[in-house]
Amino acid sequence: MGSRMVLPVISRIVDVSTYTSTQLQSIGAISLILLLAAAYFWLPWKQPYPGIPVIKLREKGLSKWIRPLNLQMAFRVQELFALGRKTGKPFQVLSFSGWRIVLPHRFADEIRTNPNLTFNEILHVEFPTTLPGWEGISEGVRRDEFFTDLVHKITQCLAHITNDLIEETDWATRKWLSDEPDWQTYELRPMGFDIVARVSTRVFAGKKLSRNDAWIRIANEYGMTCVMAAAQIRMFPKFLWPLLNHIIPKCRSVQRQFREATELLLPSIEATRKWYEQDEAKKGPKTENAIGWMIEVQKGRPMGLKNFVGAQISLSTSALEMNFTLLGFCLIAIIEHPEVLAPLREEMISVLRAYGSIMNRYVRKPTTLSDGTLLPAGAMLLVLDDGAKNSAFYEEPEKFIADRYLRMRQKPGADKRHQFSTVSSDNLAFGLGTHACPGRFLVHDEMKTLLTFMLLRYDWRFEPGYIRPQVSYFEHIRIFPRDLLIQARRRTEEVDLLQPQAS
């Protein structure tokens, strides 16, 4: 019925005489869907939450009439947040996912353990987690805490995987970085992503897959493909998502990558399952990686093939972007502040010789904050992570001070605080409270290993005359510069990184 109503409009635009009746009905149905979707996207389909100020920027010229309000959050988020900070209280902005309530930093401690506020539900809202191909997202936010138990198991096994981290870092850095003594130019993002992906995969899926280029490509691409596909599918009403998952090209790419991942992981999953099913007397050496740890923490929870594959992809995607961004900005800071390089190398050498190598939330129930602000059930929250720029927490917060946290730990009673993996309200990099990142200890070990190899074996600088591009944002997510070029040259390390105590 609806598609027939659209046909007269179509006949004014195209020559309908060239189409069969069936084709016209299909065109009409598709057109109706597109019209409904356009109305859904451009009109105010959801009202702001009552009692909380709405923050929006003034648009000029044509943008005032043609740019949807949610694009301000997408591309002008820093201006929006700066305007919102001036209110001194909670405010709300329109994102692609709907209205988001943004809380000032002072509420971080108040909400960190509130049982009415949860992190995982946000991903169920923003991604079509129940649809085929999206298991790489859904397994990471299972409501039965399987993924959290898995990451805790990885943390417990860190001492057993240190040698694997070292061996893979050695292999991955040699794969990319030349032994030539002259300066060589590299694009930081693809190089860094590949190195981090291989080191992380060594822990999660074993040596065979860490050297498999097809798997590394999926590990690198799946997360971003999901983000782009979700941004497109969210333009449409949810009841259309199951259909659109098979139509939108990016959604089809998500499914294709998941199928490819399944084919690549299947032999390792079957071999690991077989090992655990054997009698103890017949078992050979145990392989330490996340596939086996999944079996160990399963505890009666459903773990079919798609669960195994989804959990593996979720581990890779959740670790990769954070680890690469951290590594990339560390290298940039070192290049921009070369005075820190000598003391860093000195500490690395002395430690190696002495010891060797071994906050988003979703509101489940109505919640009232200390200032009287009512957070409605179903609201999506953000907490401003500006504590690191607050002079109440940090001395000269706008200035780069390489040993800032070392100095802070030297103050009386602070020796256990301000560690890399410590979570606190003044720095929300790893979240806070119940949903603080459980994998931060693995990140700690990976970063130390990667930086040790990269700084002791190579000198680093920007390409002469190169101007570093500014950091950009998509909504509240910081985007690492895509085309950043750096140069490296081989140097002779002062200690054998594979056998440091023998040096």
Q: What is the per-residue pLDDT across 107-143, written as a single tens digit (0 to 9) for each?
A: 777 777 777 776 667 778 889 999 999 999 999 888 7
Provide the whole-model pTM: 0.74
Q: How far is CA 437 from CA 226, 317, 414, in A?
A: 21, 14, 22
Asked whether the CA dihedral 441, 445, 446, 452 is positive or negative, the reply is: positive
Question: Mean of the pLDDT values across residues 468-482?
Answer: 70
Number of Cβ within 10 Å of residue 151's Cβ equals: 23
Q: What is the pLDDT of residue 128?
A: 92
Judge whether 52 and 90 are in contact, CB under 8 Å: yes
Task: Tell me the percentage of the chain whose pLDDT exceeds 70.
Answer: 72
Question: Mean of the pLDDT values across residues 375-392?
Answer: 67
**DSSP β-bridge partners for residue 91:** 102
Residue 312 CA, chain-centre distance (Å), reads: 14
Q: What is the pLDDT of residue 282?
A: 59
Judge whether 205 and 215 are in contact, CB under 8 Å: yes
Question: Mean of the pLDDT values across residues 16-45?
Answer: 56
Query: In the predicted model, is pLDDT for residue 8 greater than 50?
Result: no
Query: In the predicted model, is pLDDT for residue 20 greater than 50?
Result: yes
Greater model confidence, 356 or 88:
88
Greater model confidence, 94 or 396:
94
Judge whether 306 and 266 are in contact, CB under 8 Å: no
Specify the range with the lowest mean pLDDT, choosing from 154-168, 223-237, 296-310, 471-485: 471-485
210: three-class secondary structure by DSSP: helix
Q: What backbone torsions phi and psi does residue 437 show, to the nearest 5 degrees? A: -60, 115
Task: Tell me the percentage of the chain whose pLDDT exceeds 90.
Answer: 24
Judge whether 307 and 167 are in contact, CB under 8 Å: no
Residue 166 CA, chain-centre distance (Å), reads: 24
Number of Cβ within 10 Å of residue 455's Cβ equals: 19
Q: What is the DSSP string of 35-57?
A: HHHHHHHHS--SPPPTTS-B--P
Question: Mean of the pLDDT values across residues 316-337?
Answer: 87
Specify the range with the lowest mean pLDDT, choosing from 20-34, 193-207, 234-248, 433-447: 20-34
DSSP state of 193: H
Binning pLDDT at 50, 70 and 90, where does residue 350 land? confident
pLDDT, averaged across the chain: 78
Query: In the predicted model, is pLDDT for residue 360 greater than 60?
Result: no
**DSSP β-bridge partners for residue 424:** 427
Q: What is the pLDDT of residue 43?
A: 46
Judge whether 338 and 76 are in contact, CB under 8 Å: no
Is 437 flagged in the annotation as binding?
Answer: yes
Q: What is the pLDDT of residue 487?
A: 93
Alpha-carbon gap, residue 152 to 438, rounded angstroms: 6
- H helix and E strand count, the chain: 20, 12
Judge whether 95 and 473 are in contact, CB under 8 Å: no
Q: What is the pLDDT of residue 313?
A: 94
Specify the range with the lowest mean pLDDT, choosing from 220-224, 400-404, 484-488: 400-404
Question: Mean of the pLDDT values across residues 406-429?
Answer: 67
Contacts of 37 (CB under 8 A, 6+ apart): 235, 236, 237, 240
Q: How far is CA 118 from CA 4, 113, 141, 365, 413, in A?
A: 45, 9, 11, 10, 32
* Strand-pair category, 360-363 with 117-118: antiparallel
Q: List the one residue out of 437, 430, 445 whose CA is nearest residue 158.
A: 445
Q: What's the alpha-carbon Rg for the chain, to the nearest Å?
A: 25
Alpha-carbon gap, residue 58 to 83, rounded angstroms: 11
Query: In the predicted model, is pLDDT for residue 371 greater than 50?
Result: yes
Question: Mean of the pLDDT values across residues 275-285?
Answer: 69
Residue indicated by tokens 């098979």: 246
Greater model confidence, 373 or 102:
102
Position 248, amino acid? I
Q: What is the pLDDT of residue 375?
A: 74
Judge whether 239 and 215 are in contact, CB under 8 Å: no
Alpha-carbon gap, residue 146 to 81, rounded angstroms: 35
Residue 500 CA, chain-centre distance (Å), reads: 33
Greater model confidence, 465 or 2:
465
Q: How far is CA 264 from CA 87, 203, 225, 258, 259, in A?
A: 52, 16, 19, 10, 9
Alpha-carbon gap, residue 395 to 377, rounded angstroms: 39
Query: In the predicted model, is pLDDT for residue 5 greater than 80?
Result: no
Q: What backbone torsions phi and psi does residue 93 show, to the nearest 5 degrees? A: -135, 155
Q: What is the DSSP string of 230-260?
A: HHHHTTS-GGGHHHHTTTSHHHHHHHHHHHH
Alpha-carbon gap, residue 78 to 81, rounded angstroms: 5
Alpha-carbon gap, residue 404 to 420, rounded angstroms: 12
Query: In the predicted model, is pLDDT for residue 17 greater than 70?
Result: no
Question: Mean of the pLDDT values across residues 274-300?
Answer: 78
Specify the range with the lowest mean pLDDT, choosing from 375-389, 416-430, 450-464, 474-488: 416-430
Task: Indicate the burial class of 429 (C-beta count within 10 angstroms; 0-12, 13-18, 19 or more).
Answer: middle
Q: What is the pLDDT of residue 6?
A: 43
Number of Cβ within 10 Å of residue 463's Cβ equals: 13
Binning pLDDT at 50, 70 and 90, where does residue 307 land? very high
The top-scoring range by mean pLDDT among 19-28, 90-99, 312-321, 362-371 is 312-321
Greater model confidence, 83 or 370:
83
Provide the token pair at 479: 């985007």
Q: What is the pLDDT of residue 36?
A: 58
Q: What backbone torsions phi and psi does residue 474 show, to the nearest 5 degrees? A: -120, 115
Asked whether the CA dihedral 167, 169, 172, 173 is positive or negative, the reply is: negative
